[in-house]
Chains A and B, each alone.
Chain A
Amino acid sequence: MNIVASGSAAIARAAGRASRAMGRGGGTSVPGVVLLRINPRAVDTIADRLGGGSILVSATNGKTTTTRMLGGALRADGAEVITNAAGANLLSGVAAALVGARPARPDTACGLFECDEAALPAVMARVHPRAIVLMNLFRDQLDRHGELEAIAERWQAMLLAPGALPRLVLAADDPAIAALGDGRECLWFGLDDPAVATGALPHAADSTRCRACGTPLTYDHVWFGHLGDWRCPACGSSRPPLDVAVIDAGLRGATGSDPLIRTPDGEVILHLTVPGLHNVLNAAAALAGALAMGIRADVAAAAISQVPAAFGRAEHLVVDGTDLVLLLAKNPAGANENVRTLLLDPGDHHILVALNDRIADGRDVSWIWDVDWEPLLPRVSSVTVTGERAHDLALRFRYGGLDPDHLHVIPDHRAALASAIAAVPPGGCLEVLPTYTAMHDIRADLVARGAASEFWVEG
């Protein structure tokens, strides 16, 4: 490392320690903010020193889980992995991870960074990755109007910028992502298991027009959201042939899945402890990313199978003898997948849904109406709604047709959690679906009760 970069990094690290000492959260991005202010080029310098190169992961949904899985594969292959803490996924978070890194063997260490969709071009410009994994673009509640289009255009511009193009690992099932690979050499991953297809595009589907000619796309199979085996009836463009294909999703209800995946390196079976089809696709993305980094498919498959759930993503806890599962629901596509995962479990359900409207959640809560809660309603014995916008959730369920006897409106999250747990019979499980900040609120309660560990310790 050159002297200037090294000196800047030391100052930045000290700022991070000071921030933690003052109790300002995990302090996870502070050293990065400091480094970017005093010497932005130092990020490039430190990143370029990683002999194994870097890989970036971005998407609106699933990037935290996929990054963790990919981290498992890289470590299993013997690499020392420099990675950013969950949620610290802007350029400052990536810079902080690089600043804090003191790899023992820099010649083989590699970088693995989860990137916010909007921050990806800036990260890519500084980190010069060997590969990037782009998974999906689902409508978000933060500013839905035109945002998806704008991000897809910024990603396209990013790939046209001068410099070496990284290895592209792209989701063939998402038409907006597939368009990024047009005319480029890519490793395509996706799903090829008609048994798990749904009949039609759900209400919350996005990007259902052809990127080339604007005609509404037709789908031979829809997996979830707007992801599927798509084609354009007018211009003939269609889903690219898959290099890494899930040929049997192997869903095992709420306990996980055993997907069979075909790769250029042979077929592999994974054994995931995270449930649902969306996690099968996350695993396929991680496997494809690992292949792009030169890892053998069987090594990656075994490692991905060992990775536990990320913070709040199908995380299982026990509170006072009651099982509890946390399922982060931050946008319609994610919430729909959670609902579908819950439906895999036969029997009665007890759910706690928590909705806040802070900046990180999105000030606009109308997205809860785009979630298809209806199939779950006949199967729930208790629905507790909480958070700053608990009353809006109550209306969503009331107009969705839920029997009012089953609906409990308790805006205070501590009281709501206690009441929802009390409603679960012995041997039952409370399924908790919070927005981002509501998950932090509820998790803080769980930490206080000794049921969960703190956030930044595990990041």
Chain B
Amino acid sequence: MSADVRLCHLYPDEMNIYADRGNIAVFQRRLEWRGLRLEVRGVGPGETIDPSAYDLIYMGGGQDRDQAVVAHDLAGSKGDAIISAVEDGVALLAVCGGYQLTGHGYTGVDGSRMPGIGLFDADTIAGDTRLIGDVLINATLDGQTREVAGFENHAGRTELGAGATPLGAVLAGHGNSGVSGGEGCTRLRAIGTYLHGPLLPRNPWLADHILGWALEHRTGSATELKALDDTMEIAAHAVAVGRAHGDRRERLMGRRG
């Protein structure tokens, strides 16, 4: 049986520190519960990407040293293949370090530069503190707006170019830079974001939206996804939303940085 969605998992060994396997598990189960099959192919350093072989690309975050290896590996034809896949309608989700490296690049505190692939018109410079905590955004995709809850932990301050679209507006937490009010970036069917936790288990709407994109790429037409019983997901989402609002209150009261 051929796969219903073909997922390219970029750098599973190097970029996995924020429980990225949780996001992959959500893609797999939510398809399986609907009688559909996900095929996952890991692509590591030194391996090439065929842009026509996938419907969905995923990249997580890593430790600085691993991220430098990945940045080097992405420079050139591999980065170009990812961009051409997205321009061809492939869906993409990049989290934390994956988000930074799908932008223009990352400048460290010591001034060193890690180049990105330039899929997103976004550039990141390390700040002197880490932005850590629960985060809640109003995310907008294809005209639908929903609350998406996650956790953020990043030193990078990401600035979007004038024409770039953020994933959402920050309701609580820091987002891209802590000051812009925006979080993440979207372009075509690609999403870059700092939200982990992992992101998808407690945000099933977002997971299904991305899966809808991937299925549409695979079949050539829009696919209606069968509704699932998301009682547990909704309960976990509610707790995360409460945490994000609580964090904001504590910050306003000066208890947290």
Query: Which of B13, B22, B69, B243 contacts A399 (CB under 8 A)?
Result: B22
User: Which residue of B is nearest A367, CB measured?
Assistant: B19
- Chain A binder among B50-58, B128-136, B177-185: B128-136
B153 at the interface (CB under 8 A from A): yes
In the assembled complex, the Cα of A364 lies from the Cα of B132 at a distance in Å of: 9
Interface size class of A (residues with CB under 8 A): 20 to 34
Main secondary structure, interface of A, reads mixed
B198 at the interface (CB under 8 A from A): yes
B122-147: which have CB < 8 Å to A?
130, 132-134
Q: Which residues of B contact A149 (CB under 8 A)?
A: 63-65
A350 at the interface (CB under 8 A from B): no
Interface size class of B (residues with CB under 8 A): 35 or more
What 1/0 mask marks residues of chain B from 219 to 241 whose CB sits below 8 Å from any chain A CB? 00000000000001101101100
In the assembled complex, the Cα of A12 lies from the Cα of B81 at a distance in Å of: 66
A385-407: which have CB < 8 Å to B?
388-389, 391-392, 394-396, 398-401
The answer to whether A391 touches B232 (Cβ under 8 A) is: yes
Q: Which residues of A contact B151 (CB under 8 A)?
A: 363-366
The answer to whether B202 touches A395 (Cβ under 8 A) is: yes
- Chain B binder among A98-106, A137-145, A191-199, A265-273: A137-145
Distance to closest chain B CB from A377 (angstroms): 13
The answer to whether A363 touches B134 (Cβ under 8 A) is: yes
Main secondary structure, interface of B, reads mixed
B17 at the interface (CB under 8 A from A): yes
A-B pair number, CB within 8 angstroms: 90
Q: Which residues of A contact B196 (CB under 8 A)?
A: 364, 366
The answer to whether B236 touches A394 (Cβ under 8 A) is: yes
B11-26: which have CB < 8 Å to A?
13, 16-19, 21-22, 25-26
The answer to whether A391 touches B64 (Cβ under 8 A) is: no
Q: Which residues of B contact A139 (CB under 8 A)?
A: 17
Query: Which of B64, B133, B202 contacts A392 (CB under 8 A)?
Result: B202
A315 at the interface (CB under 8 A from B): no
In the assembled complex, the Cα of A370 lies from the Cα of B60 at a distance in Å of: 13
Query: Which of A145, A366, A389 contacts B130 (CB under 8 A)?
Result: A145
Q: Which residues of A contact B115 (CB under 8 A)?
A: none
A423 at the interface (CB under 8 A from B): no
B251 at the interface (CB under 8 A from A): no
Q: Which of A146, A369, A409 has the most CB of B within 10 A?
A: A369
Give me 5 other A-B pairs in contact (C-beta within 8 A), A369-B22, A399-B26, A399-B201 excluded: A148-B63, A365-B197, A369-B21, A396-B22, A396-B201
Q: Please give me the 8 A-B residue pairs with the lowest Cβ-Cβ distance, nearest first.
A: A369-B19, A369-B22, A391-B236, A366-B19, A395-B201, A391-B235, A399-B25, A364-B151
